[in-house]
Amino acid sequence: MTAGDPLLAVHGGAGRLPRRALSRKNRAAYEEGLASALKAGWRTLRRGGSALKAVTEAVAVLEDHQLFNAGRGAALCADGTAELSASLMNGKSREVGAMVGLRRARNPIRAAGTLIGHAHGLLFGEEADRYAAQHGIEQVPQDYFRTEHRWAQWQKRRGTGKITLDHDEENAHGTVGAVARDRRGNLAAATSTGGLVNQLPGRVGDTPVVGAGTWADNGVCAVSATGKGDAFARVAFARRVADLIELGGLSAQEAAESALEEVKNVGGEGGCILIDRNGMCVLPFNSAHMLRGWIGRDGRPHVAIGPDQDVELPAS
């Protein structure tokens, strides 16, 4: 792995998967989804495209894939609707785009991308959807997001007041995200989510918060986080990881593990994917599972779910 080689990593959520979700058939479906996302991002990088475009394309595939909690197949709020949030950051310019509480944009990550370079970095609610529509982002009805599985899950929970982390549920996970490094050494990160199962509408976790769920700075690293979002927000996770590398002198792995320990100290768990400025890629987590994968020079997706699986990390 030389400095000039492009690299991409994705995640599809972290938590504890129930036994049934870990059947051979279900594992294969998750792995296929992760591999599709990696291949989509890789197509961009292989042709010399930007890291920012690569993370957008990879996340859009996971949003379109109904097994993952983002875009189609997102967890439903207590009122039965899907509210979608996403953010991305360009490590070259440190420009950001984030949208909170979208209800109509098919791909929240593309909606967030329309704010890159705009005076405003974060929009929420109705106006976020309107802005995205005005900027050519495909709009879909709420029905599009609502899968059969999600609807059944909501029917079971409705009115109970029980909020569950999506990844504690059957066949379902918390967030999706991607980090990339392109041929020119530029870094980017993107994260997207449907939130928690049965969450209060209007609730926001770390995903759309630059510095919490997403961070990218060419001089340090690109990070996308997943897990109990409120805990990640409370430690401003992604900025913390970058600062532990830049100011604390830690390696990418050490920095991520240290910041995950802080998340644990405030009652959370999860993981992140990270590529540093030297092209080192790590995918650490302190939950039982994290859907994850990476793709590099040979164009072959490497994917994993449990802690037992070796995803053959690229040597830096």
Task: Select the residue interacting with a copy of itself from 247, 308, 310, 315 (CB under 8 A).
Answer: 247
| CB nearer to a copy of itself: pick between 12 and 177 | 177
Binding flag, residue 119, a copy of itself (CB under 8 A): yes
Q: Which amino acid is at 223?
A: V
| CB nearer to a copy of itself: pick between 37 and 128 | 128
In contact, 108 and 133? CB cutoff 8 Å = no
Question: Encoding tokens for residue 67?
Answer: 């097994």
Q: 128 to each of 95, 108, 222, 262, how far by Cα in Å?
A: 18, 10, 25, 32
Binding flag, residue 28, a copy of itself (CB under 8 A): no
Q: 245 to each of 4, 113, 145, 239, how far by Cα in Å?
A: 21, 27, 38, 10
Binding flag, residue 117, a copy of itself (CB under 8 A): no
Minimum separation from the CB atom of position 169 to a copy of itself (A): 16
Binding flag, residue 244, a copy of itself (CB under 8 A): yes
| CB nearer to a copy of itself: pick between 12 and 205 | 205
Taking the C-alpha atoms of residue 63 and residue 75, their distance in angstroms, rounded to an integer, is 12
Minimum separation from the CB atom of position 134 to a copy of itself (A): 11
In contact, 128 and 101? CB cutoff 8 Å = yes
In contact, 278 and 236? CB cutoff 8 Å = no
Catalytic residues: 175
Contact code string over 70-99 relative to a copy of itself, x by CB under 8 A: ------------------------xxx---
Segment interacting with a copy of itself (CB under 8 A) among 2-10, 193-201, 286-294, 297-305:
193-201
Which residues inside 274-303 make contact with a copy of itself, applying CB under 8 A? none
Q: 120 to each of 20, 115, 128, 261, how far by Cα in Å?
A: 44, 7, 11, 33
Taking the C-alpha atoms of residue 305 and residue 188, their distance in angstroms, rounded to an integer, is 23
Task: Select the residue interacting with a copy of itself from 178, 233, 252, 295 (CB under 8 A).
Answer: 233
Segment interacting with a copy of itself (CB under 8 A) among 44-52, 66-74, 196-204, 276-284:
196-204
Question: Encoding tokens for residue 170?
Answer: 């059957």
Taking the C-alpha atoms of residue 271 and residue 288, their distance in angstroms, rounded to an integer, is 10
Taking the C-alpha atoms of residue 231 and residue 235, their distance in angstroms, rounded to an integer, is 7
Binding flag, residue 219, a copy of itself (CB under 8 A): no
Residues that bind a copy of itself (CB under 8 A): 94-96, 100-101, 119-128, 131, 163, 199-205, 209-212, 215, 230, 233-236, 239-240, 243-244, 247-248, 266
